[in-house]
């Protein structure tokens, strides 16, 4: 089936946009390039995304949501103790960011530019992640495993304390020798603090 005979969906447009961004970078990628990749007119793309900025925002959200969705399974694993879930969640976040940066550095650099443009999307992503952490901390408090006067404030502190291991600004440090050990030392320290 040719691209033009398939139904044009927002998801297909986002997939094509990601490929165009990978090929051309954020400075040179255009809606016309996306339309050309799909074999449609740029007007067809604009029917789904009213502006180039809206398209870039949607593709950024889609990229960030992949991480959130992967982590949500750890949060939902209530058959595991909260400490294990917390360690697994922080490790999965670190690993996801490292893989995004290391497996496709061009696309990672592109998304770094796009996330700078889309502060609201990034803010919502961070709120989602700290919300996930809050659920884990609250479960730990309820189980008597963690001590935290405010699970929400504690979750934000955990997120900030581990920023070096998930904030894209530190991506170059993620491949340095010993970074895994540094990460584990920080997580051990934080977990010990939660047990007090």
The CATH code of the domain that includes 39 is 1.10.10.60
Instruction: Specify the pTM.
Output: 0.85
Structure confidence by residue, pLDDT tens digits, 66-113:
999 999 999 999 899 999 999 999 999 999 999 888 787 777 777 778
| Predicted local distance difference test score (pLDDT) of residue 176 | 93
The CATH code of the domain that includes 160 is 1.10.357.10
Domain holding 13, by residue range, is 1-50
Concatenating the DSSP letter of every residue in 19-74 gives: HHHHHHHHHH--HHHHHHHHTS-HHHHHHHSSSHHHHHHHHHHHHHHHHHHHHHHH
| Predicted local distance difference test score (pLDDT) of residue 173 | 93
Residue with tokens 């992503």: 125
Whether residue 29 is found in the same domain as residue 109 = no
Structure confidence by residue, pLDDT tens digits, 133-188:
999 999 999 999 999 999 999 999 999 999 999 998 899 899 999 999 999 999 99
Is pLDDT of 3 > 50?
no
Whether residue 126 is found in the same domain as residue 172 = yes
Whether residue 112 is found in the same domain as residue 141 = yes
Whether residue 3 is found in the same domain as residue 42 = yes
Is pLDDT of 189 > 60?
yes
| Predicted local distance difference test score (pLDDT) of residue 56 | 87
């Amino acid at each position: 089936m040719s691209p033009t005979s398939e139904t044009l969906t927002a998801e297909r447009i986002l997939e094509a946009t990601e490929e165009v961004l990978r090929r051309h970078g954020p400075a040179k990628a255009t809606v016309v390039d996306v339309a050309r990749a799909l074999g449609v007119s740029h007007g067809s793309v604009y029917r789904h995304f009213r502006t180039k900025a809206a398209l870039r925002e949607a593709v950024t959200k889609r990229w960030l949501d992949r991480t959130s969705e992967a982590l949500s399974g750890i949060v939902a694993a209530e058959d595991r103790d909260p400490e294990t879930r917390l360690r697994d969640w922080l490790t999965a976040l670190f690993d996801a960011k490292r893989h995004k940066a290391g497996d496709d550095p061009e696309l990672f650099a592109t998304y770094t530019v796009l996330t700078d443009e889309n502060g609201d999307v990034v803010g919502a992503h961070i709120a989602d992640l700290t919300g996930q952490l809050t659920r884990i901390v609250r479960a730990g408090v309820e189980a008597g495993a963690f001590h935290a006067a405010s699970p929400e404030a504690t979750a934000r502190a955990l997120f900030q304390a581990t920023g070096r291991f998930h904030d894209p600004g530190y991506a170059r440090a993620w491949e340095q020798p010993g970074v895994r050990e540094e990460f584990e030392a920080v997580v051990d320290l934080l977990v010990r603090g939660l047990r007090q």
